[in-house]
Amino acid sequence: MNIEREKVMNLLKPTMNVIILVAVGTAMFSLGSAYQNHKAKEQVKVENPYAHAYSPEEISIAVNESNELIMIERATGEYIVYSDEIGQTIFGMYANRIHQEATNASK
């Protein structure tokens, strides 16, 4: 009986090693796949409406009664509303540029 038990143990050890190796390999592969899926979800591109610099041919600019700046895309009709402070700042920059151009032209 003792000899049979030794034979069984000798056969079982390499089998257990293979089972452990396959289990660890499968776990690592699963972990790698889960990490790759998680990274792909993080890299979903969020469109930023402020990322594109518009040219005067692409947009129309308006100011509503609340002094909010409205930029309207001519091609699609989509618009972005900016707060009144941004509208006043952009208007000040635009007015300053026109003033500088007029001052430089007269010199």
In sequence order, the 6+-apart residues with CB closer than 8 A to the CB of 20 are none
Q: What is the dihedral of CA 80, 83, 85, 89, to 10 degrees?
A: 0
Residue 2: pLDDT band (50, 70, 90) is: low
**Residue 45 above 70 pLDDT?**
no
| Backbone Cα Rg of the chain | 34
Residue closest to 67 by CA, chosen among 92, 93, 86, 80: 86
Mean pLDDT of the chain: 83
Q: What is the pLDDT of residue 41?
A: 76
Instruction: Give the pLDDT confidence of 55-103 residue by residue, as tens digits.
Output: 778 888 888 888 888 888 888 888 888 888 887 787 788 788 888 888 8
Q: Taking the CB of residue 87, how many other CB atoms lie within 10 A of it?
A: 21
